[in-house]
Amino acid sequence: MPTRRARIPATKYPVERFTLDNGLRVVLTPDRSAPVIGVAVVYDVGIRSEPEGRTGFAHLFEHLMFQGSENLEKLAHFRHVQGAGGTFNGSTHLDYTDYYETLPSNALERALFLEADRMRGPRLTEENLRNQVDVVKEEIRVNVLNRPYGGFPWLTLPPVMFDTFPNAHDGYGSFDDLESATVGDAADFFRRYYASGNAVLAVSGDVDVAEATALIERHFGDVPARPAPERPDFAEPDLTAERRTSYTDQLAPLPAVAGAWRVPDPVTDFAGYLPYVVLAEVLTDGDASRLVERLVQRDRSVTSLGGYLGFMGDPFDVRDPTALLLQAHLPPGGDVDKVLRTVDEELDRLATDGLTEGELARTQARMATHLLRDTDAVLGRALRMAVLEQQRGEPGLLNELPRLVGEVTDEQVQAAAATLRPERRASIEVIAGGAR
C-alpha cells in the first residue's frame, strides 16, 4: 500500500526581476499586507572564494563593509537604519556574503542609498582594518578557541572530507593570515568580488514595483560597472574509502562525533539532491525520527542528535560539493564506534525495508511548515530569493520548495539511504578533555 502523501500548501509570492546596465540583478516581491520591507544584498563571494594565505578574509570583509562608505562616516549605517526604526546585519557563508535590513516601508529609499553607497566603496583605512582584524580574532576566541565544541563540525569536518584548499580550509581564518592582511589586499578583494555584476539586490514587502524600480535605478544605476569574476571550480572526487580522525577538546565535557557523506550537486541535480534533504529529516527530526528513536530513546547511546544538509545548515543556499551531516553528543564514556555502527544499521534497514506508513508524510509536513514559516517574514523572503537568484537565476523557486519537498517519494528516500555507505563517509570524533 502506498504511503499517504502530505498535503502541502503553496505560496504565490509575486516575483519581478530585472538587471541594471552595470550588471546588478534585482528581485522585487511586493506584499502590501503590512508597512514593512526587507532589503537584502547578496554578493557571490564566500569562504570558498578566499585565496590561499588569506583565510578568514570573506568574513573579515563582511565586518569592513560596516565601517563607513563613500559618503558615510563610521557607524553612520547603524545610525540611519536604527534611526528609522529598523534592524540590520550581515553574514558570511560558504558561497556568498549577505547584508540586510528590515525597515518601515517609508524608509525604502534610505536603505537603498545605504547599500548603494557601500557598493561603490567601503572606507578601507589602516585604522578600520586593524580594528576589525582584532574584532574577528576576538570572535574566533569566543566562538571557537574558548568554547566547548568550538567549530564542531563545520570547521573540523571539511578538512577530513576534502583535499582542496577552497573546501578544506578554516573559514574563520588563522591569526597569522588575518594579521598580515593589508589595506591593499582589502582593496583588491573589493574590486574583484564586490562588483555590481557579482551582486543581487532583493526587496520584499510593502513596495510599489514602479516606484521601487525608479529608486533602485536612481541609487544603484551609477555604481561603476564591474563584471563578476570567473568562479573557480571547487569540484572534488567522492570518497572511495572511509576517512576518520579525532581530536581532544580540552573544554568539552562529553564526547561527540560527526559524520558526513557527499550528496548530488544541489544546483545542477536538484531533483537528485532533494531526497537527501528529506532523508536527513527522516533520520533526525523529532522524537519519532529514525535515529532519535533508536540512539537517544532506546539505546541511550547518545544524548542529542542532529542531521542536516550543508556544513552551515541550510540546504537551499549551498553549491557543490556539499554533504549530508549527522552529529551527536554522547554520554560519559560513550562508544563512538558503536554509534557509527548503529547509524549504519539504521541506514541499511531504511534502504532495505523502506519507510513506515505515514513516516514520509509526517516529515514532509514538518519540513513544509519550516519553509513557510522562514519566508513568512519579509526579510526571510528577500534573503531566500536573493540567494536563489544568485545561485540559480530562479528566485520564484521559493514558491515551489514546499511542493517539491512534498513530491519526494518513499522510493527516492530509500535509494538515497542506500548510498550512505561507510566507505563514503568522513567522520570526526571529539574526545572530551573537560570531563570532571
pLDDT tens string 222-248: 999 999 999 888 999 999 999 999 999
Confidence band of 9 (pLDDT split at 50, 70, 90): confident
> Quick one: pLDDT band at residue 1, thresholds 50, 70, 90?
very low
Residue 153: cis peptide before it, omega within 30 degrees of 0: yes
Average pLDDT of span 396-411: 96
Q: Tell me the average pLDDT across 106-118.
A: 97
The predicted model gives 268-289 an average pLDDT of 96
Q: Taking 80 as the threshold, does the pLDDT of residue 5 lie above it?
A: no
Give the per-residue pLDDT at 4: 55
Q: Which of 226, 200, 221, 223 is nearest to 28 (CA)?
A: 200
> Where are the domain boundaries for CATH 3.30.830.10 in the chain?
16-221, 243-432
Enumerate the β-bridge partners of residue 34.
Answer: none
Which residues, at least 6 apart from 391, have a Cβ–Cβ distance to it below 8 Å?
95, 96, 267, 317, 319
d(CA 318, CA 388): 10
The separation between CA 423 and the C-alpha centre of its own chain, rounded to angstroms, equals 27
Query: pLDDT confidence of 366, banded at 50, 70, 90?
Result: very high
The pLDDT of residue 10:
82
List the single range of 1-5, 23-27, 216-220, 323-327 with lowest mean pLDDT.
Answer: 1-5
As a whole number of angstroms, the distance between CA 372 and CA 290 comes to 24
pLDDT on residue 435: 60
72-76, 252-256, 319-323, 324-328: the lowest-pLDDT one: 72-76
Q: What 3-state DSSP class applies to 84?
A: coil
| 241 phi and psi angles, rounded to 5 deg | -145, 145
Q: Is 431 helix (H, G, I), strand (E, B) or coil?
A: strand
Overall average pLDDT of the 69-91 stretch: 95
Q: What is the pLDDT of residues 289-331, one digit of tens each?
A: 999 999 999 999 999 999 999 999 889 999 999 999 999 999 9
Which residues are bridge partners to 244 per DSSP? 427
- Which residues partner with 87 through β-bridges? 102
Measured CA to CA, the distance from residue 342 to residue 323 in angstroms comes to: 20
- Over residues 264-273, the pLDDT tens digits come to 999 999 999 9
pLDDT-derived band at 146 (thresholds 50, 70, 90) equals very high
Other Cβ atoms within 10 Å of 194 Cβ, number: 22
Average pLDDT of the residues of the chain: 95
CA 367 to chain centroid: 17
Contacts of residue 335, Cβ cutoff 8 Å, sequence gap at least 6: 301
Q: Smallest Cα–Cα separation from 391: which of 219, 265, 297? A: 265
What average pLDDT does this structure show over 112-141?
Answer: 97
Contacts of 373 (CB under 8 A, 6+ apart): none
Pick from 228, 216, 33: which is nearest to 112 by CA?
216
**Does domain 243-432 fall into CATH 3.30.830.10?**
yes
Q: Which of 43, 39, 17, 28 is nearest to 223 (CA)?
A: 43
Cα–Cα distances in angstroms (integers) from residue 2 to residues 279, 358, 403, 426, in the given order: 18, 10, 19, 34
Nearest CA to 293 among 349, 371, 364?
A: 349
pTM for this model (two decimals): 0.95
Q: In whole angstroms, what separates CA 142 from the centre of its chain?
A: 21
Beta pairing, strands 87-92 & 97-104: antiparallel
Q: Which residue has the higher pLDDT, 325 or 436?
A: 325
The answer to whether residue 6 scores a pLDDT higher than 80 is no
Question: What pLDDT, on a 0 to 100 scale, did the predictor assign at position 434?
Answer: 74
According to CATH, the topology of domain 16-221 is Cytochrome Bc1 Complex; Chain A, domain 1 (3.30.830)
Q: Is 193 helix (H, G, I), strand (E, B) or coil?
A: helix
Is 48's pLDDT higher than 90?
yes
Per-residue pLDDT for 2 more than 50?
no
67 φ, ψ to 5°?
-105, 35
